[in-house]
Structure 1
Amino acid sequence: MVQFITDSSADLPKDLLEKYNIYIVPLSVQIEETQYLEGISITPPEFYQKMFSTDELPKTSQPSPSDFADLFTKLAEKEEEILCFTISSGLSGTYQSACLGKELSKTNVTIFDTLGGSLGHGLQILKAVELADKGWKLGDIIPVIEKIRDEMNILILLDTIENVVKGGRLSRFQGSIVKVLNIKVILEGINGKIEVLEKIRGNKRFFKRALNIIGERKADFSETVFGITHTGNFEDVEFLKTEIEKRYNPREIIINYMGATMGTYAGKGGTIISFY
């Protein structure tokens, strides 16, 4: 038996967390002067309502080592194998906090850096759970998840670069030029970090190109599970879901809100498509 832990940035739907008894260690987010625990003291719709109504970019923080240590100690009492997944170490200090938590608790926990975020992180957990349910031991599960991590595609579709400007990664002048020209940006998660993949003018070309990129990545999607997370842009997500089903006939498509961690940077109308 393997017990599973993840931080809250995996963006897994609540019903799946409950179904597979996956434990969560939440990241925190500060909006103006108020601190919240992602997914616990603030829901995604509440978070986006607050974020979209303020000029200040929310600040996200990783869990403390003691947050992990307390949970590791509690679960170690069951004398079962423990596997903890974290958001990419290239995006957050959460992985390091988990490693320090392991040292503090003096427990035999395996910490796995997913090198991903949102459902690019969450899909790795679901595969590990699937294997554990079939009776696989932890030592056999890890090589499979490492392979999936290497094969993971994470496409981040930015409808606006407003939060990128707020975060200081683009000047306001550059941001205004992008807005005037109606330029949309597709980013990609590569080796645990985010890089610009393409810049596209216009909504129709933007989504069409994203769908074509998916098709360029592999030929057979019949056993593929897609993860799509969003910041409340339901119409875009429904369009993408319908087109992916029509073009690629995948095994499953999981849809959920982006939590505060990823949503802070994706901004209004942001979408993340993950698959392997």
Structure 2
Amino acid sequence: MVRIITDSSADIPNDLLEKYAISVVPLSINVDDQDYFEGVDLTPESFYQKMSETEILPKTSQPTPLNFSNVFMDLSKNGEELLCLTISSGLSGTYQSANLGKQQANVNVTIFDTLAGSLGHGLQVIKAAELAERGYSVREIVGELQDLKENMNILILLDTLENVVKGGRLSKFQGSVAKVLNIKVILEGVNGEVEVLEKVRGSRRFFKRTLEIIGERKQDFSDTVFGITHTGNMKDVEFLKNEIKARYKPKDIIVNYMGATMGTYAGKGGTIVSFR
């Protein structure tokens, strides 16, 4: 049996973590000089509240190598194969930290860079856990994951550019202009990093265009699992979920809160839609 390990940025619902006995190594988040472990002592809801009250963008930090090595050593005691899937190495140092943890633990564990974040990462973890349950070896699981990773679509919908301004990637003037003009931004995950896909004016056009982009990516969604994460904007998510169901009839749609790691950058009203 293969044991699956991941980090907290995967944003996998708790019921699925428990179902597949997936071990989670938390990232840390600093808000107003106070440190928290994602998903351990800071819920998404409380994080969004704290984030809205601070002028300084919260800072995330990858788990230390020791955090990973402790988990690896503990799980290796039963002689099981270990597979650890991390957030994209283009977004965080977590992949590198996991590899250092592997060296410290000196145990047989495979580290896999998903080149994704949130449920784009999480869908790969869930797939790995399903295959492990069916008796696949680590080598066989990684072989299956390569195709999933290379064909993952990740659309990041920014309702506000407030956090982009806080992070210094956009001036306050540009952010103010975007707010006045009601400009929304659709980003895309490409090769493990984030690029601007389109800028859209107005909320109605924003979601309409998102649904169009999904339809442009493939024709048959009958075997597709969607992952949608959000920063508390359930009304938007319910709209997207219902429209995706009606238009594309996918196999399943997993919805969950976006954790602090990705929520820091998505900001208020942010949504990430992931699918293969």
TM-score bucket of the superposed structures, by smaller chain: over 0.9
Aligned-pair Cα RMSD in Å: 0.5
Equivalent residue, structure 2, for 1:27: 27
Task: Please tell me whether the aligned partners of residues 3 and 132 of structure 2 are also in contact (alpha carbons under 8 angstroms).
Answer: no
1-structure distance, mates of 2:138, 2:63? 25
Alignment of 1:164-243 (within 5 A): 164-243=164-243
- How many residue pairs get matched? 276
Unaligned runs of 5+ in 1: none
Alignment of 1:1-276 (within 5 A): 1-276=1-276
2-structure distance, mates of 1:44, 1:126? 21
1-structure distance, mates of 2:113, 2:28? 19
Structure 1 position 269, deviation (Å): 0.2
Structure 1 position 134, deviation (Å): 1.5
Q: Deviations over 1:183-204 (max 9, x none)?
A: 0000000000000000000000
**What secondary structure, in the 3-state scheme, does the structure 2 residue paired with 1:264 have?**
helix
Unaligned runs of 5+ in 2: none
Structure 1 position 129, deviation (Å): 1.2
TM-score, normalised with respect to structure 2: 0.99
TM-score, normalised with respect to structure 1: 0.99
Q: Percent identity, aligned pairs only?
A: 67
**What secondary structure, in the 3-state scheme, does the structure 1 residue paired with 2:99 have?**
helix
**What secondary structure, in the 3-state scheme, does the structure 2 residue paired with 1:131 have?**
helix
Task: Please tell me whether the aligned partners of residues 28 and 63 of structure 2 are also in contact (alpha carbons under 8 angstroms).
Answer: yes
Structure 1 position 24, deviation (Å): 0.5
Q: Deviations over 1:26-52 (max 9, x none)?
A: 000000021000000110001111111
Q: Deviations over 1:119-174 (max 9, x none)?
A: 00000011111112222111111111011000000000000010000000011111
2-structure distance, mates of 1:214, 1:122? 19
Task: Please tell me whether the aligned partners of residues 8 and 25 of structure 2 are also in contact (alpha carbons under 8 angstroms).
Answer: yes
**What secondary structure, in the 3-state scheme, does the structure 2 residue paired with 1:24 have?**
strand
2-structure distance, mates of 1:249, 1:39? 32
Structure 1 position 259, deviation (Å): 0.1
2-structure distance, mates of 1:65, 1:131? 27
| Structure 1 segments of 4+ aligned residues over 4 angstroms from their partners | none
Task: Please tell me whether the aligned partners of residues 154 and 272 of structure 2 are also in contact (alpha carbons under 8 angstroms).
Answer: yes
Task: Please tell me whether the aligned partners of residues 158 and 184 of structure 2 are also in contact (alpha carbons under 8 angstroms).
Answer: yes
**What secondary structure, in the 3-state scheme, does the structure 2 residue paired with 1:195 have?**
strand
2-structure distance, mates of 1:71, 1:124? 20
2-structure distance, mates of 1:109, 1:25? 15
